[in-house]
Chains A and B, each alone.
Chain A
Amino acid sequence: QKEVEQDPGPLSVPEGAIVSLNCTYSNSAFQYFMWYRQYSRKGPELLMYTYSSGNKEDGRFTAQVDKSSKYISLFIRDSQPSDSATYLCAMSRGNNRLAFGKGNQVVVIP
């Protein structure tokens, strides 16, 4: 079983829709959870970071962590064409080693 599972998509949504992305993990020792956004031909950019179960909001973005189910989610409200990118989930045990998902390609159609 892979440490981090993420459906690579692609996911196409109309502009203004809510984008819902998720990852599951198998290692209960993970305690830090991140979402990165990667535009084509660019490096990953840290989007959201959280370490506790529950929700964290930042503008149109909400990161959700459910440690009991080993499940994390990212929601993008009022999606824009500029949100079209690949979204990577990442997590860590606090040992400065990140485990990444494969990435989920999102296309927001104007």
Chain B
Amino acid sequence: ETGVTQTPRHLVMGMTNKKSLKCEQHLGHNAMYWYKQSAKKPLELMFVYNFKEQTENNSVPSRFSPECPNSSHLFLHLHTLQPEDSALYLCASSQLDSDSTDTQYFGPGTRLTVL
């Protein structure tokens, strides 16, 4: 595997279900991100992990819970979601250092549908 991978690619869940999204980066980066992409809206940054530490939570509802066990893996745990949470969830990674250019590399996304 190369780049950033995400599983599952598609997920349909009921409002009472619990599910998890998984992201893995094979680029040796030290920062990882979760984004939400909805139609006709800019990408919304949800969570940021720098060196495995969460550094940002952009007022995301508690029904979304991130986990970063190491610098290569990132999870998004989902619980009692709402239909308006249906979207494409994208994971990204980047390398933070003194020469950082802030370029981020994205996975293919998980298309989530909440019924």
Contact = CB atoms under 8 A, between A and B. Distances in A.
Interface of A: 4, 8, 32, 34, 36, 41-46, 49, 51, 88, 92, 94-103
A4 B45 CA distance: 14
B43 A88 contact: yes
Interface residues of B, number: 25
Contact of A96 (B41, B42, B102): B102
B38 to A, nearest CB: 10
B105 A46 contact: yes
Contacts of A95: 102
B41 A102 contact: yes
B59 interface: no
A92 B102 contact: yes
A101 B41 CA distance: 8
Contacts of A49: 101, 103
Nearest to A8: B40
Contacts of B101: 32, 49, 51
Given A4-B42, A46-B105, A92-B102, 4 more contacts: A34-B102, A43-B107, A100-B43, A101-B42
Contact of B40 (A88, A96, A97, A102): A102
B4 A98 contact: no
Contacts of B6: 43
6 contacts: A43-B90, A43-B106, A97-B45, A97-B102, A98-B43, A100-B42
Contacts of A36: 106
A98 B104 contact: yes
Nearest to A32: B102
Contacts of A32: 101-103
Which of B43, B50, B96, B106 has the largest number of chain A CB atoms within 10 A?
B43
A96 B50 contact: yes
Interface string B91-113: 00010100011111111110100
B48 to A, nearest CB: 7
B31 interface: yes
Nearest to A96: B102
